[in-house]
A and B are shown apart, each in its own frame.
Chain A
Amino acid sequence: MSALAEVTNLNIEFGSGPHGTWPVRDVSFSLNPGETLCIVGESGSGKSLTGLSMMGLLPPGARRRFGEYRLLGQSLANASDRHMEDLRGKDLAMIFQEPMTSLNPSFTIGDQLTESYRRHTGATRRAAQDRAVELLEKVGIAGGRNRLRQYPHQLSGGLRQRVMIAMALMCNPKLIIADEPTTALDVTVQAQILRLLNSLQEEYGMGLILITHDLGVVAKVADKVAVMYAGQIVETGTVAEIFGSPQHPYTEALLGCIPLLGRTRSGEHLRAIPGTVPALHGDLGGCHFRNRCDYARPACAGQPIDLREIGAGRSARCILVGDHQPRTEVLP
């Protein structure tokens, strides 16, 4: 089965010279139709920028370079702005983090739902509205045509996010990128939205890249996982592999931070990862995690560390891969 999307060697640079930063370095992954890839990392890891670069929506001042970027067989590494414009909203869609500010307050949601459909398919207003109503039902918003006349401020955050999802689906995209879609929502609503995304994916068979910092979300929806730290992918694998036997010290530490019912004893200190994420100027020389890593040794500094393949779709960016014992036990 050929991959739906393939990114090889993505680099994003801001500025240049001594003040330049490299928020994303050497990122590669691939996705098959119907699959969900979760890109996990903390703020500043470069995960959002990765998603934006796939859409061609990087902020001005950012320069991206793909080794290769293939979507549905086409190479988009050097696609023009015009080409990306034609793809966005049609084959490629994105959902953002902040439902409260992601919709234009001056237009009805009907207007905002139908405009991309009409732009990409040339449909009439009537036909577009019918489709909008159909999709609103799919995402669990009842009320038919009347809903279309409402304005964003009349809807709650959860409803707005559902509208965003419906909007993304209007033209039947093959790939959806969701950047922290549930972070700004209440916990109960989070679960609903995730279930919704899951069921829609099963129904329409599109690929989903879900960007998050929440390991709980990863556990619920992911097929494949890519862990990012300080601009690089440090580990990839299936969700079972990542949670079961993390190979990179960062992943291990992340999982170790989660307090577990029945395992963490009362009175025990919650584990945190000491130190801070490095600033991304210039060349960090070697492993980006070494200032916080329990297993660091001299060979970690100096040479840039490559991503080492451990199996099919399984890799880790650590020189100790295979050599050390994970300290967290297998999660239930």
Chain B
Amino acid sequence: MAGYILRRGSVAVAVTIVVSILTFLFTNVAVDPAISMAGEGARQEHIELVRVQYGFDQPLYVQYGHWLENWLSGDFGTSFRQRRPVVDMLQERFPVTATLAFSALALALLISIPLGILAALRPNSWLDRITLSIAVVGMAMPSFWMGMLLIYVFSITMRWLPISGGSTPMHYVLPVITLAYYVLPPIVRLVRSGMIDILRSDYIRTARAKGLRRHTIILKHALRNALVPVVALGAVQLGHLLGGSIVVESVFSLSGVGLLAWEAIRAGDLPVIQAILVIMAVIYVGLTLLSDLLNAAIDPRIRVS
């Protein structure tokens, strides 16, 4: 088990480093950082001054070294656009994105696990067909359109909910629903298909042969095994939510990290772009590692080997 964690952990660290290098190369090679910083239309001498002053003329690996050093001590650079530490900007925006992501995932799990189980218990029934339809429709709907639809129905037509912004909890209802519907379909399909396969397995037949009650068999024996892949999927989906909420934040005008990334990209604000890309990678890698560990905890076959 310790070996397993060690191996996975070292891969995680290696990936993070590679991503940081790639990001650094991208933001310092593809774009001339001196120009970005000085601003477009700045005079040539000004650009050269900036270049020397901020060390953009030094060899790449030296620049990377400094950058890494700063990063490890918590300094993510200063935004070109707002002239503030990037760290502060991230800290302001992160709660919004985190709230959205975790709420959406929680809502999705809350709906999809019971629904998937019920659908698996009665395959081809009307409940099953409705469940599959929900999943299939959800996979075909772009999230920004879903958001707009919800706004149209619930904010404009019915006036139950506010249209945009993020000042009250009510403002979060529609965005969370939109995001939840985005991640729900793969989870519900996985739960359903997993349960269907498991309910046909030999060890469930053994459990029935022992005279265990139906709910014991479903909730104890079957669900336990069905949830193993759901954990991994949940972690991946959480990563997607954290990284992909750009469009939803845009539709609902929520000041989260996603919207920050978009603004930074449009403005060529390299430090912010760098920081967000690297942090996203860290989160993804961390979540994958977490899901591997959770898997090992749940599935004894991985743990005791």
Is there a contact between chains A and B in the complex with CB atoms less than 8 Å apart? Answer: yes
Residues of A within 8 A of B (CB): 55, 57, 85-90, 93-94, 96, 98, 101-107, 115-116, 119-120, 151, 153-154, 164, 167
Min CB distance B300 to A, Å, is: 5
Min CB distance B195 to A, Å, is: 14
Which chain A residue has the least Cβ–Cβ distance from B198?
Answer: A104
Q: Answer whether residue B221 sits at the interface, using C-beta atoms and an 8 A cutoff.
A: yes
Residues from chain A with a CB closer than 8 A to the CB of B304 are 151, 153-154
CA–CA, A1 to B216, complex, Å? Answer: 38
* B169-206 interface bits toward A, Cβ cutoff 8 Å, 1 = contact, 0 = none: 00000000000000000000000000000000111011
Once the chains bind, are B300 and A167 in contact (CB under 8 Å)? no
> Which residues of B (199-248) have their CB < 8 Å from a CB of A?
201-203, 205-214, 216, 221, 224-225
Once the chains bind, are A103 and B301 in contact (CB under 8 Å)? no
CA–CA, A153 to B203, complex, Å? Answer: 13
Residues from chain B with a CB closer than 8 A to the CB of A102 are 202-203, 205-206
Once the chains bind, are B206 and A103 in contact (CB under 8 Å)? yes
| A-B residue pairs, 8 tightest by C-beta | A89-B211, A88-B211, A116-B210, A89-B210, A101-B202, A104-B203, A94-B209, A151-B300
Once the chains bind, are A119 and B205 in contact (CB under 8 Å)? no
Instruction: Name which of A57, A93, A103, A105 has the most chain B CB atoms within 10 A of its CB.
Output: A105
Which chain B residue has the least Cβ–Cβ distance from A59?
Answer: B200
Residues from chain A with a CB closer than 8 A to the CB of B290 are none
Once the chains bind, are A116 and B212 in contact (CB under 8 Å)? yes
CA–CA, A96 to B216, complex, Å? Answer: 21
Once the chains bind, are B208 and A88 in contact (CB under 8 Å)? yes
Once the chains bind, are B209 and A98 in contact (CB under 8 Å)? no
Q: How many A-B residue pairs have CB under 8 A?
A: 76
Residues of B within 8 A of A (CB): 201-203, 205-214, 216, 221, 224-225, 298-301, 304
With A98-B202, A101-B202, A106-B224 as given contacts, are A89 and B209 in contact (CB-CB < 8 Å)? yes
Which chain B residue has the least Cβ–Cβ distance from A99?
Answer: B202
Min CB distance B120 to A, Å, is: 13
Once the chains bind, are B210 and A105 in contact (CB under 8 Å)? no
With A104-B207, A106-B298, A106-B299 as given contacts, are A115 and B201 in contact (CB-CB < 8 Å)? no
CA–CA, A17 to B279, complex, Å? Answer: 63
Residues from chain B with a CB closer than 8 A to the CB of A115 are 210, 212, 216
CA–CA, A87 to B301, complex, Å? Answer: 32
With A119-B216, A151-B301, A153-B301 as given contacts, are A103 and B203 in contact (CB-CB < 8 Å)? yes
Which chain A residue has the least Cβ–Cβ distance from B305?
Answer: A153
Which chain B residue has the least Cβ–Cβ distance from A177?
Answer: B209
Min CB distance A285 to B, Å, is: 34
Which chain B residue has the least Cβ–Cβ distance from A119?
Answer: B212
CA–CA, A119 to B213, complex, Å? Answer: 9
Residues from chain B with a CB closer than 8 A to the CB of A151 are 300-301, 304
Residues from chain B with a CB closer than 8 A to the CB of A167 are 206, 210
Which chain B residue has the least Cβ–Cβ distance from A153?
Answer: B301
Residues from chain A with a CB closer than 8 A to the CB of B203 are 101-105
Once the chains bind, are A116 and B202 in contact (CB under 8 Å)? no
**Known contacts A89-B210, A94-B209; 18 further A-B pairs (Cβ under 8 A):** A57-B205, A85-B214, A88-B208, A88-B209, A89-B212, A93-B210, A96-B206, A101-B201, A101-B203, A102-B205, A106-B225, A106-B299, A107-B224, A115-B216, A119-B210, A119-B211, A151-B300, A153-B301
List, sorted by A's number, 19 A–B pairs whose CB atoms are closer than 8 Å: A85-B212, A85-B213, A85-B214, A88-B210, A90-B211, A101-B201, A101-B202, A103-B206, A104-B206, A105-B225, A105-B300, A105-B301, A106-B300, A115-B210, A116-B210, A116-B211, A151-B304, A153-B300, A167-B210
Min CB distance A70 to B, Å, is: 19
Residues from chain B with a CB closer than 8 A to the CB of A164 are 206
Instruction: Name which of B202, B206, B304 has the most chain A CB atoms within 10 A of its CB.
Output: B206
CA–CA, A105 to B203, complex, Å? Answer: 8
Residues from chain A with a CB closer than 8 A to the CB of B202 are 96, 98, 101-102
